[in-house]
Structure 1
Amino acid sequence: MKETDPKLIVGSEEWCAFPDLGIPAMKARVDSGAKTSSIHAFNVQKFRRQGETWVSFEVHPLQNNRRVVVRCERPIVDKRVVKSSSGISETRFVVLATLKIGTVAWEIELTLANRDSMGFRMLLGREAMSGRMLVDPSISFCMGQVSSDTLDKHYGKREQIRSGLKIALLASNQELYSNQRILEAGEERGHEMEFLDIKQCYMKLDAVEPEAHYRGGKTLDDLDAVITRIRPSITYYGCALARQFESMNVLTANTSTAITQSRDKLYSLQLMLKSDINIPTTGFANSPMDTNDLIEMVGGAPLIVKLLEGSQGRGVVLAETRKAAESVINAFKALRANLLVQEFVKEADGKDLRCFVIDGKVVASIQREAAPGEFRANIHQGGTASIVKITPTERKLAVKATKALGLMIAGVDIIRSKNGPLLLEVNSSPGLEGIEAATGKDIAGMMIAAIEKKLKWKRELSSKRTK
């Protein structure tokens, strides 16, 4: 394209191609707010070729489709520290590749990043657009649409072969990232996946033939396993359903008993102490008359006040002074809310560790940091995450805590104190988005693999499409 040529008018998303990479069609987010362009890449490996440094990587060119894989190789032209939209800084390889949009093609720089948790596999930044494009964010696909038939011709239509297990995901919202990833990972490994909305399930209690039913009268009598992801507000009914599947000899991950124990914060902490697991000093009382002694037993202010029913940082308050602590505790008690009072670990500095445990093994860990001016409990609202190497003691603590509650899958939250690691909480329905984005690991696939192992099912490896 010459400087005198008219600029392309593009929308907020467009179909593009990378002939050099063997990618004939890929949907891109056009983002003038981003400086560099980025393409989804995993299994990134550096190697030498004829005295030059190259990189090999694999791409899932289609969003929400991990079955189509294209293998690529390009010379490395640079390494750059890039900060993602989630606040995570990472070093990425930079390669050159020819971008084609419509009938126009030119060479651009691409950073390689795992974009599984992003809305698009490709991000087109302003450096690649400069002097060539004008963006109208109110429209899309100005350069034309790509039909599903065309994608099938490009990548090959492949019928999903159901040769594996039948696994149900018992949850509330099918559109959540974590739920989508689990369903996708199971299908990728050849299993028949089914989403079950907890509120649409019902059951028949029978000593001889217990049954579980789904909306419309469908009998759920052919499941090999159920993955339970029950939100706190429907713990009672969700666990009742889990118990029903257990009575039908269906593998449940996690079990009803384990979930119930993890959701009761007071009971779970008592179980931790029984297993010799260190926790922050914690107080619990029912009467407002005991407020002062409750404050003293955790070392005074500042302190943390937690509602027993809260989750993901909700219902957690930092009381910085004794007067504030008294006010918060008495206000909660006036509402007849059950609460814990916990010591504030200053040296944690607004950070905690999230360890993801599957079948007795820590498979990934990240450090989460609260936004400036916030404290650790608000990590879930606007905090950042980064990869962290945990110590053997922290790894052992995470595994031990998970086993104490009987969980097969768990997110274990730990803080580092001057007296060593302290366990904060164990989550029986941990989210996947933050930890998959930070670590680049296929946590959902590991969850499915753990179920395969429990049921002694062996996966038949499928071939990849490469370019």
Structure 2
Amino acid sequence: MLENLKIIGSEEWCVFKELGVPAIKARVDSGAKTSSIQATNLKIVNKGAQEWVKFEVNPLQENRSIAINCEARLIDRRMVKSSSGISEERLVVRTPVTMGDNTFDIELTLANRDTMEFRMLLGREALTDRYIVNPAVNYQIQEFTDEEVTEKYKPYYKEKTGLKIALLASNPNLYSNKRLMEAAEARGHEIVFLNVEQAYMKLDAHSPEIRYRGGNILKDFDAVIPRIKPAVTFYGCAVIRQFNNLGVYCQNSAESITQSRDKLFASQLFSKNDIHIPITGFAKSPMDTKDLIKMVNGAPLIIKLLESTQGKGVVLAETNKAAESVINAFKSVNTNILVQEFIKEANGQDIRCFVVNGKVVASMQRQAEKGEFRANIHQGGKASMIKITQEEKKLALKATKALNLAVAGVDIIRSNKGPLLLEVNSSPGLEGIENATGKDIANEMIKAIERKLKFS
């Protein structure tokens, strides 16, 4: 009996002629009972008295541009436990599979395997009485070269002259958003502005979707540039996560944006990663306000709302008494604040470094308006080009890496103790720094997406 069984490796190529899938790489897993194939956009239709299911297969890993429309008769609905231990209902179809010279019927559960290394899993029901598995080898039945796979999928490749990019933001008329649209189009890409608040989601194990104003399904995007304003951080990050779940590259992830917007958590991350920041205090109870002030070297000191942005919600308390009053006033209305030492020697100046994919592409110095303590362009600060030191560059890159941001505006202040990190902005504006430095930062951001997606 055993001598009639063929030896199969831990990875094998399968062909589904009836589904129109010319080649798909499968992980052989005798621990799984039923075989599984990557499937999205599932839709059940009736053909006479029978139920059929229509679905899309992206047969090649890391290539969502090839989507094959398939249909097969629905034979079952089963509860299947995933590798993470979560049980979910999956639709089951039966279809012929060809492996080398052998063709036989196989049952397949339809699952979203976008996060898996293999687009297909070959279970033991398909192996029984046919194959013996040797996990030390691969492709014992049949092997396709990269050239052969490319040739097989040649009819499915769409003529593509550029990427399809979504700019996810709120206001298409902002300088930064207009510049990004211009830069993407100049490089031959199709870019669409999407108002984040007009996108909505279908959360479903079989066919998750993002829809837009009027029911249009958003699909076929290669990349998303998130420019989420603070007021819609929660919803914006939910939409970014959904794009990511659909296999779309997001230039900044939802997690990294959320971390950067939480000033307390970000400060704790910086401290953990040995990134120098001004001495910072945080407390809930008003009972130790005096010690909190003393802890950050006393007045003058900075009081920041945790949700502050663009210099708003940042207060300078010039005396201990004033600091105590402001801190207790905020606490009395349950508002979370940070208390931070004031770096007097900075003299109202700070540095903004613009980081793209682990490289500082531009730097500017900002000078606060007379009478102001914070150098913010949105509040009348003046910007000029500056050459930063190696230590400042290292600090900017280290802070960006700690938050896992691909694009960031990093604010640094020069002190007697050396450069200190003030904060990291996950949606940095382009206008001030492009005008001050003459650098085409929008173009750098689009080029970074091209490199990430290996587009030439």
Q: Pick the TM interval, shorter chain.
A: 0.5 to 0.7
Native 8 Å contact 2:300 2:341 kept in 1: yes
Native 8 Å contact 2:375 2:382 kept in 1: no
5+ residue gaps in structure 1?
1-160, 459-467
| Cross-structure match for 1:340 | 338
* Distance across 1 between alignment mates of 2:311 and 2:298: 22
Paired positions, count: 298
1:261 alignment partner, one of 259, 262, 276: 259
Shift, 1:370, TM fit: 0.2
Shift, 1:253, TM fit: 1.1
| Cross-structure match for 1:147 | none
| Cross-structure match for 1:225 | 223
* Distance across 2 between alignment mates of 1:310 and 1:278: 21
Shift, 1:409, TM fit: 0.2
| Cross-structure match for 2:296 | 298
Question: Larger deviation: 208-217 or 263-272?
Answer: 208-217
Shift, 1:208, TM fit: 2.8
5+ residue gaps in structure 2?
1-158
| Cross-structure match for 1:409 | 407
Matches within 5 A, 1:304-453: 304-376=302-374, 378-453=376-451
In structure 2, the CA distance between the partners of 1:277 and 1:184, relative to structure 1 (3 Å rule), is same
Native 8 Å contact 2:293 2:339 kept in 1: yes
| Cross-structure match for 1:135 | none
* Distance across 2 between alignment mates of 1:173 and 1:299: 41
* Distance across 2 between alignment mates of 1:424 and 1:210: 39
Off by >2 Å, runs of 4+ in structure 1: 377-380
Native 8 Å contact 1:225 1:451 kept in 2: yes
Shift, 1:221, TM fit: 1.1
Native 8 Å contact 1:316 1:377 kept in 2: no
* Distance across 2 between alignment mates of 1:258 and 1:266: 14
Shift, 1:190, TM fit: 0.3
* Distance across 1 between alignment mates of 2:160 and 2:244: 24
Native 8 Å contact 2:349 2:375 kept in 1: no
* Distance across 2 between alignment mates of 1:438 and 1:381: 16
Root-mean-square deviation (CA), in Å?
1.1
In structure 2, the CA distance between the partners of 1:243 and 1:251, relative to structure 1 (3 Å rule), is same
| Cross-structure match for 1:271 | 269
1:212 aligns with 2:210: yes
Shift, 1:206, TM fit: 1.5
Structure 1 SS opposite 2:325? helix
Whose RCO is larger (CA < 8 A, sep 6+)? Answer: 1
Q: Deviations over 1:386-426 (max 9, x none)?
A: 00000001001101100100100000000000111000000
Q: Deviations over 1:163-198 (max 9, x none)?
A: 100000000000000000001100000000000001
| Cross-structure match for 1:163 | 161
* Distance across 1 between alignment mates of 2:311 and 2:358: 25
Structure 2 SS opposite 1:422? strand
* Distance across 2 between alignment mates of 1:330 and 1:274: 28
Shift, 1:377, TM fit: 5.4
Structure 1 SS opposite 2:176? helix
| Cross-structure match for 1:177 | 175
Native 8 Å contact 2:366 2:376 kept in 1: no
Native 8 Å contact 2:377 2:432 kept in 1: no
Alignment-mate amino acid for residue 341 of structure 2: E
Alignment-mate amino acid for residue 402 of structure 2: A
| Cross-structure match for 2:185 | 187
| Cross-structure match for 1:201 | 199
* Distance across 2 between alignment mates of 1:393 and 1:448: 27
Structure 2 SS opposite 1:170? strand
Native 8 Å contact 2:278 2:340 kept in 1: yes
Shift, 1:273, TM fit: 1.1
* Distance across 1 between alignment mates of 2:210 and 2:196: 11
* Distance across 2 between alignment mates of 1:417 and 1:368: 15
In structure 2, the CA distance between the partners of 1:377 and 1:342, relative to structure 1 (3 Å rule), is farther
Native 8 Å contact 1:171 1:196 kept in 2: yes
Shift, 1:380, TM fit: 3.2
Native 8 Å contact 2:350 2:375 kept in 1: no
Q: Deviations over 1:421-464 (max 9, x none)?
A: 00000000000000000011110000000000000001xxxxxx
Shift, 1:275, TM fit: 1.1
Q: Deviations over 1:192-228 (max 9, x none)?
A: 0000001100001122322111101111111000000
Alignment-mate amino acid for residue 367 of structure 1: Q
Alignment-mate amino acid for residue 252 of structure 1: C
2:285 alignment partner, one of 272, 276, 287: 287
In structure 2, the CA distance between the partners of 1:383 and 1:162, relative to structure 1 (3 Å rule), is farther
Native 8 Å contact 1:162 1:190 kept in 2: no
Matches within 5 A, 1:130-141: none
Structure 2 SS opposite 1:216? coil
